[in-house]
């Protein structure tokens, strides 16, 4: 159920990433609330990818879903 909430919220941020030629892919959710995501397309190789994950997506998800404790990027 929590995974579905996360995926639904990612759909809301996806258009912003796609506007810059990128996208985000949900990878997993750990028992401690850490969400693993993969940035793809232009976002996958962008020098600001880590900032996008932490300052953008992580902050947004944590505000919307309190159970999310962190967001990490995977290659």
Domains and CATH numbers, the chain: 2-73 (3.30.300.130)
Q: How far apart are alpha carbons 6 and 20 in whole angstroms?
A: 22
Query: Hey, CA dihedral for 61, 62, 66, 69, is it positive or negative?
Result: positive
Residues 6+ apart with CB under 8 A from 24: 10, 13, 14, 17, 37, 38, 39, 40, 43, 57
- Which of the four pLDDT bands, split at 50, 70 and 90, describes residue 8? very high
The sign of the CA dihedral 37, 41, 44, 50 is negative
pLDDT of amino acid 31: 95
Query: Which pTM value belongs to this model?
Result: 0.90
């Amino acid at each position: 159920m929590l995974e579905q909430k996360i995926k639904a919220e990612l759909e809301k941020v996806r258009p912003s990433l796609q506007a810059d030629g990128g996208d985000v892919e949900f990878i997993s959710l750990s028992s401690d609330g850490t969400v693993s995501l993969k940035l793809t397309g232009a976002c996958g190789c962008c020098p600001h990818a880590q900032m996008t994950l932490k300052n953008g997506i992580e902050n947004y998800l944590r505000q919307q879903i309190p159970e999310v404790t962190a967001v990490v990027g995977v290659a």
